[in-house]
Amino acid sequence: MLCYLRVHGELAVRAKGILLLRESGLPEPPLDAQTRDRLAELAHLERAIGKSGVLAVRPLMMATGKEIWQLTLLKP
């Protein structure tokens, strides 16, 4: 579960960076292999800990609808 929190935090920071680049008018960097790997790892960890585990850590990661929406920016 700690790994899930770490990966989710890293991806949230990456998504926030993309939003800041868009806001300032700079071009977005292409989705790199490391980010794709992190997205795959997040999906795997989510399946491994199950729905109950995700619900248990949700208060720790402060995943509101806005943060979850930001992560969709990273998906190809």
Amino acid at 65: G
Per-domain residue ranges for the chain?
A: 2-74
Cβ-based neighbours of 18, under 8 Å, separated by 6 or more: 28, 29, 73, 74
Mean pLDDT of 1-18: 88
- The residues, ordered by sequence, that sit 6+ positions from 41 with a Cβ below 8 Å of its Cβ are 7
pLDDT digits (tens, 9 = 90+) for 39-53: 899 999 999 999 999
* Average pLDDT score over residue span 5-28: 88
| pTM, rounded to two decimals | 0.78
Q: Checking phi first, is residue 26 left (phi over 0); if not, alpha (psi -120 to 50) or beta?
A: beta
